[in-house]
Chains A and B, each alone.
Chain A
Amino acid sequence: MRNAFIEALLGEADRHPNLWLLTGDLGYGVLEPFAERFADRYLNVGVAEQNMLGVAAGICLSDTLTSANASGVDAFRCDTLTSANASGASQASQNRHSGESRNPGQGASNMMDARLRGQDELLTKQDLNENIVFTYSIGNFGTLRCLEQIRNDVCYHNLNVKIVAVGGGVAYGSHGYTHHAVEELAILRTMPNITVIAPGDPAEAKWAVQKLVEHPGPAYLRLGKAGEPKVHPQAIAATHGLDTPFVLFPDVSRPAVTMFSTGGMLANCVEAAKGLMQAGVTVQVVSVPVLKPVPADALQALLAQSPFVLTVEEHVQEGGLYSALCPLALALAQPPQMISACLQPHVIGKIGSQDYLRSLSGLSTEALVKTVLAFSRPRAGVTGRE
């Protein structure tokens, strides 16, 4: 996935003259093409993730017109709270800042004027040929180490910073728990303004990069490592919206089971689905790369089609895909039975390959098949809903 990422990013950087890439001294053997081709917008900030996110925020703020109209706040608010709208800058400071005959408070008034002219004419940062900054690091380092910078500097200011992490889940299995990214989806999903994406395969990763460049605001992109199987046979069109999950085996009508997958578990789900269908269980697989904002309408329709739903994620249960889908399912007139396959607490501290650690949590293809059979067999022959 990381190779698909850098390939896509190079293409976007070709088209976008102010797209930057910052790394926290990671990405050896991956990021060099960007560094060579776009040297003046590539920064290795060193092993300093807090600074990386702060610098990324600063770069994005450099072309912000003003905090007042960039944030879209209502400039009228304070005026409505005050009984009088008197102005009163000292003459000295007024002359200093305004030149010949400027009125104090005019800056605020200009913004109000802009608002009155209508949203189309209001000069917002989205109108600008603005800076976009991608930051790159391993799982936790570029997310949890600098969480407050993400929260305050990037998300609160709603800046165009795209946080990219490699090694999502237990991709760096043998490196140990310090290198496992297993809680960050939950934590980042709670941040304001952010888009959270965990692509399911290299094609989804490329698509995600394109979408994040065109979609303003902060984002988190969780990648695997390298060598993930290709699930989508072809490139995904850039026109495919962030609000549309990917349905695999779309020809299966009224599936008995729907498997929802996020991130790198997609290939296992597809293999498991093939096995299940051979065993006579009709299955549909839905890849849900976008975990925030959750594409609620589309997901709710898909949740309604089967009596059994299995969510599959390389993440702890709290705050991930299962948590995102449960409220949607509960809002249905007939909620499906929801089962979660996710990383279990006993995996923490275990050393081993990604496949090994997944298997300890019941996330191997074989285990997924077993799980589905265990809860769908008692009602074998049951098909999906009309």
Chain B
Amino acid sequence: MTLLALESESLAKAIRRLILETIARAKASHVGSCLSIADILAVLYGQVLNVRSNEPSWLERDRVILSKGHAAVAIYATLAECGFFPKTWLDTYSQDGSLLGGHVSWGVPGVEAATGALGHGLNIGAGLAIAFKRAQALALRAGSSPAFKTAQASALRAGPSPAFKTAQPNPSGLHDAKDSSHTASQWPKPATPIRTYVILSDGECDEGSTWEAALFAAHHGLNNLMAIVDYNKIQSFGRVDEVLKLEPFADKWRAFGWHVIDVDGHDHAALLAAFEHAKTIQDKPQVLIAHTTKGKGVGFMEDDNLWHYRPPNSEQLVLALEGLNSEDEGYA
């Protein structure tokens, strides 16, 4: 196991611990759905994403949309663990007046989009990806990073439309200094493309809007977009195969024009390799079909639909945390 993998394993356990404590405290639901994606989030936030917890507004950050918004506690726990906001905020989860709602809420540092109604995230992600494609193309033309828009913003604040116009990308790469205090040459050369990651549930793939986005992203060759399907094979009422079959699932995505990567969604090294491989794909959006176990990490919750809704009581919480700790020893 690499050093980095060790870090993400410990991050995953920290996330799981926060998930269990937060959901038990609030007597909330969806603990199984949250535990299912803890490893994916740990690898993403621990090793893959280009984000800054102390500067959530950084324009060139990678974007993550948790489209399966019912797993809100998982993303809140991850963001808190990574320092986007104090972990004490989790104590307020679902309380009167809290920022942290039962489904991913708008207004939380590090949250890119509010979700909860399924079948929205991939469409928003496709919009982000195509906007970044254009921004990058303009930046390349102008010889600046996508942050050229920050220069435009500064110019806009400085005055009305004349300054606004001077900050536009200029094919020559030159700007008249008297028109704007910022010139394209002041900005770094085009940096790593901004990538957008959208985490979907398997049940969410019942939604037609998800496949509208799949068509769109492939049509436009959005290789800066990656979908991650948390394929734990259980949805609200039962097994995916019993409710509405998705198989042959990978073939469906392939037929829609996506680059498909099948992976064990709890194997950190495999996840990391998959994320790195996805970055090399030139002409297609990528989908990571992450084979996961609902409730992963807590033996008595694993692969049991009961934990889609039931919160652990205080005794169950103790048992669950003990289970995580024993896993700690195993990893050590």
The answer to whether A and B belong to the same complex is yes
Q: Which residues of A contact B (CB under 8 A)?
A: 15, 17, 40-41, 43, 45-46, 48, 50-51, 53-69, 71, 73, 75, 77-79, 81-90, 92-94, 96-99, 102-108, 110-111, 123, 127-129, 131, 148-149, 152-153, 156-157
Distance between B275 CB and nearest chain A CB, rounded to angstroms: 14
* B186: interface (CB < 8 Å): no
Q: Is the CB of A148 within 8 A of B123?
A: no
Given A40-B137, A93-B83, A128-B156, also A71-B127 (CB < 8 A): no
Q: Is the CB of A50 within 8 A of B208?
A: yes
Distance between A383 CB and nearest chain B CB, rounded to angstroms: 47
Of A56, A73, A88, which is within 8 A of B99 by CB?
A: A73
Q: Is the CB of B127 within 8 A of A54?
A: yes
* B221: interface (CB < 8 Å): no
Q: Which residues of B contact A104 (CB under 8 A)?
A: 53, 82-83, 86
Closest residue on chain A to residue B104 by CB atoms: A67
Q: Is the CB of B161 within 8 A of A129?
A: no
Task: Give the residue among A15, A85, A93, A106 with the most B Cβ atoms within 10 A.
Answer: A93
* B38: interface (CB < 8 Å): no
Q: Is the CB of B153 within 8 A of A107?
A: no
Q: A-B pairs with the 5 shortest C-beta distances?
A: A58-B127, A54-B123, A104-B83, A73-B107, A89-B83
A51 to B59, CA, bound (A): 24
Q: Which residues of A contact B117 (CB under 8 A)?
A: 148, 152
Q: Is the CB of A157 within 8 A of B106?
A: yes
Q: Chain B's interface: helix, strand, loop or mixed, by majority?
A: helix
A305 to B91, CA, bound (A): 57
* B56: interface (CB < 8 Å): yes
- A–B complex contacts, Cβ < 8 Å, 10 sampled: A54-B120, A55-B124, A58-B123, A58-B127, A58-B128, A59-B130, A96-B47, A102-B54, A105-B86, A129-B152
Q: Which residues of A contact B124 (CB under 8 A)?
A: 54-55, 57-58, 61, 153
Task: Give the residue among B98, B127, B209 with the most A Cβ atoms within 10 A.
Answer: B127
Of A45, A71, A107, which is within 8 A of B110 by CB?
A: A107
* B215: interface (CB < 8 Å): yes
Interface size (B, Cβ < 8 Å)?
79
- A interface footprint on B105-138 (CB within 8 Å = 1, 0 otherwise): 0111111111111011011111111111011010
Summed over the interface, the residue pairs from A and B with CB atoms below 8 Å come to a total of 256
* B14: interface (CB < 8 Å): yes
Given contacts A102-B52, A148-B120, 19 further A-B contacts (CB under 8 A): A40-B134, A46-B215, A50-B212, A54-B120, A54-B126, A57-B123, A62-B127, A65-B57, A66-B56, A78-B92, A78-B100, A82-B89, A85-B86, A88-B86, A102-B54, A105-B84, A110-B55, A149-B120, A153-B113
Q: Which residues of B contact A (CB under 8 A)?
A: 7, 10-11, 14, 45-47, 51-57, 59, 63, 80-89, 91-92, 95, 97-100, 106-117, 119-120, 122-132, 134-135, 137, 149, 152-153, 155-157, 161, 164, 167-169, 208-209, 212-213, 215-216, 219
A62 to B135, CA, bound (A): 10
Given A61-B124, A87-B86, A106-B53, also A92-B97 (CB < 8 A): no
Q: Which residues of B contact A83 (CB under 8 A)?
A: 88
Q: Is the CB of B108 within 8 A of A45?
A: no
Distance between A263 CB and nearest chain B CB, rounded to angstroms: 30
Given A58-B127, A77-B98, also A86-B120 (CB < 8 A): no
